[in-house]
Amino acid sequence: MRRLITLSLALLLLTLGGCALFPNRDPLNINVVGIEPLPSQGLEVRFAVKIRLQNPNETTLAYTGVSLNLEVNGRPLATGVSDQSGSIGRFSETIISVPVSISAFSVMRQTLGLSQNQSLDNLPYVLHGKLAGGLFGTMRFKDSGQLSLAGANASSW
């Protein structure tokens, strides 16, 4: 019994000591900075969503992929993934571009979801994403704001 208690205490101390090895990191600041049209195929529309990643940490952060889910007006609109990799230096920023697809069905859902009095100005959006960075380096993020689609081309969003 005494051996079991000693072993349990040793494991507890090792576990707590292991947690101290992981650095305390501030979350990345991630914002949508642009949307540009891409060649489309069939019943889908494709865009490149540009996001700015700002690293407020004292260490360089490496990433090995990114995924995005874009909701507009409270409904899913676009999804995208990219296997691009790179790093964001300490206290620096970078812009990455992720291709996203919008199906014709998503467009129909969005259109049907607009009320008769609602215009294409200032539609609320929420961008959910994941920046992959290995076993303990994956970071989830969220950005929200408003899109103005009326009379604008996609590159001005």
Q: Where are the domains of the chain?
A: 25-156
Question: What global pTM score does this model have?
Answer: 0.69
pLDDT in tens, 13-52: 666 555 445 556 788 888 888 889 999 888 888 999 899 9
What pLDDT sits at residue 43? Answer: 82
pLDDT of amino acid 153:
45
Q: Is the pLDDT at 92 greater than 80, yes or no?
A: yes
Place domain 25-156 in its CATH homologous superfamily.
Answer: Immunoglobulins (2.60.40.10)
Residue 74 pLDDT > 90: no
Q: Average per-residue pLDDT in the chain?
A: 79
pLDDT of residue 149: 56
**What does the alpha-carbon distance between residue 139 and residue 57 come to, in Å, rounded to a whole number?**
13
